């Protein structure tokens, strides 16, 4: 049975830092509003502003601006006899959320036990440890244990893993101060915890590389496991063929990581650098696109791509950034001639990561290419700002953005605002990025926080196998739900959401629905990036 918000006014349930713009959305008629503290005393009074009809939600909305309220505390907004969920104003408003969303990766670790000391009630035994066999020759077995479970399923996929790790690595690279002191309560790795956690994925990625530099696309069972704990999933593990997307993303992320880990562990940085070069060489020797298709009898994730243009671009950009070798720059520029978006931070289209690599490498000595890339980010930020202005919720998301995993696009757009602020000095982008987070955390048409563990009304029935199988009512915190999906791409979504539902409302907190309420490692990672930017 589905739960709807008991609240009538929608706010960011994680809260607001004191100097931020603070806007509640009121989807009904009311002239006046108040904000009350946790004792029920009125601390702020104001007039609502009529926005009008919001297409994506199908609601006529008003906004209530209480930006002037800066005093630390816990509050609710009231208007027309209705109230909002509780929220906090304070300089630490994002701290717990950043901790939770980053810690989430520990709960997704594969190939080791989650110890009670670190995982609390969510501890479990080691999973998916046996050797895996090659799909192409089952007599060959490999140790490919480790890494993070991709999502609600137990698969491990190279392109998805590389991109999630890259979002996190860039969050660290751009905002190291945010993470240097951030303890995640995970086994100590002698470096900032976030880097220890990312390393867990990188060590697995290294195992997915073949001697010749090729990188296997994924390791999964032939079918998705039922809703059992990971250590009970004993179906044989299969390593699927090499794809050129996997090779390119692998080269890119290991090159990026090599530069970052040098300061903490030179041997590891060397290993990463060698691995990156080997796969970059493989790309040279294999100029043709080698895609991926699930073979007959396998129903785990595909991560299909139509080409590997952006992937190769990203690989060469990172290799150039790491080595300074202009041969890689030439290859990157040649890739750039092909047709793909230069600001995308997705698991398939990764052009934005390549552009970011190049811009950071050339920082301070801008050339023509850098100028072009900077302008592309600026243009994209402008497009997004216009979308935000058109939305009653201030959300920068195009109509087509309400797809499977829409919350990733919400957060990816937040990343574009962040990058535009950092590289083009666009100060106004900060509020826009913050607003993307507000939407994720409850300022949306369903008034729901899309992150487990935060907010009075929040997702809890996530499509996440251990969360279902562990018998614990409360989902582990910090898991970002995929969010509204106009496509209603699974039978459970179709059963509960009428097909004429406005896109922003095509969501239910329903564990069965993998196309609305699943989690993935690359839906958390752009949220980590945006939160680190906002801190």
Nearest residue to ligand 9MR, by Cβ distance, number only = 301
Among positions 152-181, residues that touch ligand 9MR (CB under 6 A) are 153, 155
Farthest-apart Cα atoms in the chain, separation: 72
Among positions 310-349, residues that touch ligand 9MR (CB under 6 A) are none
Phi then psi dihedrals of residue 358, to 5 deg: -65, -45
Query: CB of residue 220 vs ligand 9MR: minimum separation in angstroms?
Result: 8
Nearer to Zn ion, 127 or 269 (CB): 127
* From the list ligand 9MR, Zn ion, none, partner contacted by residue 518 (C-beta under 5 to 8 A by kind): ligand 9MR
3-state helix, strand, coil split of the chain in percent (to 5) is 40, 15, 45
Among positions 361-420, residues that touch ligand 9MR (CB under 6 A) are 404-405
Binding ligand 9MR (rule: CB under 6 A), the pick from 59, 150, 201, 426 is: 150
Q: Is 230 in the site for Zn ion (CB under 5 A)?
A: yes
Determine the size of the site formed for ligand 9MR (CB under 6 A).
Answer: 12
Stretch that binds ligand 9MR, among 47-55, 299-307, 354-362, 388-396 (CB under 6 A): 299-307
Nearer to Zn ion, 128 or 403 (CB): 128
Binding ligand 9MR (rule: CB under 6 A), the pick from 518, 525, 530, 534 is: 518
In angstroms, how far is CA 183 from the centroid of its own chain? 20
Query: CB of residue 124 vs Zn ion: minimum separation in angstroms?
Result: 9
Query: CB of residue 230 vs Zn ion: minimum separation in angstroms?
Result: 4
Asked if 221 and 154 touch (Cβ cutoff 8 Å), the reply is yes
Residue 452 and residue 459: Cα distance in Å, rounded? 5
* From the list ligand 9MR, Zn ion, none, partner contacted by residue 520 (C-beta under 5 to 8 A by kind): ligand 9MR
Residue 497 CB-density burial (10 A; 0-12 exposed, 13-18 middle, 19+ buried)? buried
Binding ligand 9MR (rule: CB under 6 A), the pick from 380, 409, 460, 520 is: 520
* From the list ligand 9MR, Zn ion, none, partner contacted by residue 110 (C-beta under 5 to 8 A by kind): Zn ion
Residue 172 and residue 526: Cα distance in Å, rounded? 12
Residue 28 and residue 43: Cα distance in Å, rounded? 23
Residues noted as catalytic = 509, 518
From first CA to last CA, the distance across the chain in angstroms is 37
Q: Where are the beta strands (DSSP E) in 276-320?
A: none
Nearer to ligand 9MR, 5 or 409 (CB): 409
* From the list ligand 9MR, Zn ion, none, partner contacted by residue 514 (C-beta under 5 to 8 A by kind): ligand 9MR
Stretch that binds ligand 9MR, among 76-84, 298-306, 322-330, 453-461 (CB under 6 A): 298-306
Among positions 488-517, residues that touch ligand 9MR (CB under 6 A) are 514
- Dihedral of alpha carbons 167, 168, 169, 173, sign: positive
Stretch that binds ligand 9MR, among 20-28, 188-196, 296-304, 369-377 (CB under 6 A): 296-304
Q: Please report which helix (H) or strand (E) contains residue 200, including its range.
A: helix 193-207
Phi-psi region of 128 (alpha: psi -120 to 50; beta: other; left: phi over 0): left
Residue 511 and residue 446: Cα distance in Å, rounded? 17
Pairing of strands 132-134, 238-239: parallel
Tokens standing for residue 138: 């089952």
Q: Which residues bind Zn ion (CB under 5 A)?
A: 110, 127-128, 230
Q: Which residues bind ligand 9MR (CB under 6 A)?
A: 150-151, 153, 155, 301-303, 404-405, 514, 518, 520
């Amino acid at each position: 049975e589905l739960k709807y918000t008991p609240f009538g006014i929608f706010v960011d349930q994680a809260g607001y830092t004191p100097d931020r713009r603070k806007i509640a959305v009121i989807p009904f008629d009311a002239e006046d509003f108040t904000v009350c503290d946790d004792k029920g005393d009125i601390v702020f009074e104001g007039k609502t502003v009529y926005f009008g009809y919001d297409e994506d939600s199908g609601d006529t909305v008003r906004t209530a601006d209480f930006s002037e309220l800066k005093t630390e505390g816990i509050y609710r907004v009231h208007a027309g006899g209705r109230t909002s969920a509780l929220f906090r104003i304070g300089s630490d408003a994002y701290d717990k959320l950043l901790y939770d969303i980053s810690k989430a990766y520990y709960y997704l670790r594969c190939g080791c036990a989650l110890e009670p000391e670190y995982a609390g009630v969510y501890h479990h035994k080691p999973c998916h440890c046996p050797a895996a066999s090659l799909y192409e020759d089952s007599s060959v077995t490999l140790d490919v244990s480790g890494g993070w479970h991709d999502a609600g399923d137990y698969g491990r996929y190279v392109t998805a893993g590389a991109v999630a790790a890259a979002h996190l690595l860039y969050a660290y690279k751009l905002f190291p101060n945010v993470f240097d002191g951030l303890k995640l309560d995970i086994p100590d790795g002698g470096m900032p915890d976030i880097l220890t956690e990312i390393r867990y994925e990188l060590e697995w990625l290294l195992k997915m590389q073949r001697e010749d530099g090729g990188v296997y696309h994924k390791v999964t069972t032939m079918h998705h496991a039922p809703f059992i704990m990971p250590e009970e999933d004993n179906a044989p593990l299969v390593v699927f063929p090499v794809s050129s997307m996997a090779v390119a993303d692998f080269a890119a992320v290991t090159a990026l990581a090599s530069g970052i880990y040098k300061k903490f562990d030179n041997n590891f940085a060397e290993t990463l650098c060698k691995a990156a070069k080997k796969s970059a060489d493989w790309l040279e020797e294999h100029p043709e696109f080698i895609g991926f298709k699930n073979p007959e009898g396998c129903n785990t994730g595909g991560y299909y791509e139509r080409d590997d243009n952006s992937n190769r671009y990203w690989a060469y950009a990172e290799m150039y950034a790491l080595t300074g070798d202009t041969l890689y720059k030439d290859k990157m520029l040649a890739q750039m001639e092909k047709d793909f978006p230069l600001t995308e931070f997705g698991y398939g289209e990764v052009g934005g990561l390549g552009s970011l690599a190049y811009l950071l490498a050339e920082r301070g000595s801008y050339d023509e290419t850098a100028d072009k890339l900077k302008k592309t980010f600026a243009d994209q930020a402008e497009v997004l700002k216009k979308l935000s202005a058109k939305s009653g919720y201030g959300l920068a998301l195009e109509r087509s953005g309400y797809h499977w995993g829409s919350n990733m696009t919400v957060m990816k757009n937040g990343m574009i605002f962040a990058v535009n602020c950092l590289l083009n000095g666009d100060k106004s982008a900060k509020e826009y990025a913050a607003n993307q987070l507000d939407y994720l955390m409850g300022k949306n048409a369903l008034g729901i926080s899309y992150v487990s563990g935060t907010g009075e009304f929040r997702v809890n029935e996530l499509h996440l196998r251990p969360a279902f199988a562990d018998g614990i009512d409360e989902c582990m915190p910090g898991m970002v739900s995929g969010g509204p999906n106009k496509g209603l791409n699974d039978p459970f979504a179709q059963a509960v959401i009428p097909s004429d539902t406005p896109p922003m409302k095509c969501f239910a907190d329903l564990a069965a629905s993998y196309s609305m309420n699943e989690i993935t490692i690359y839906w958390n990672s752009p949220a980590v990036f945006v939160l680190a930017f906002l801190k």
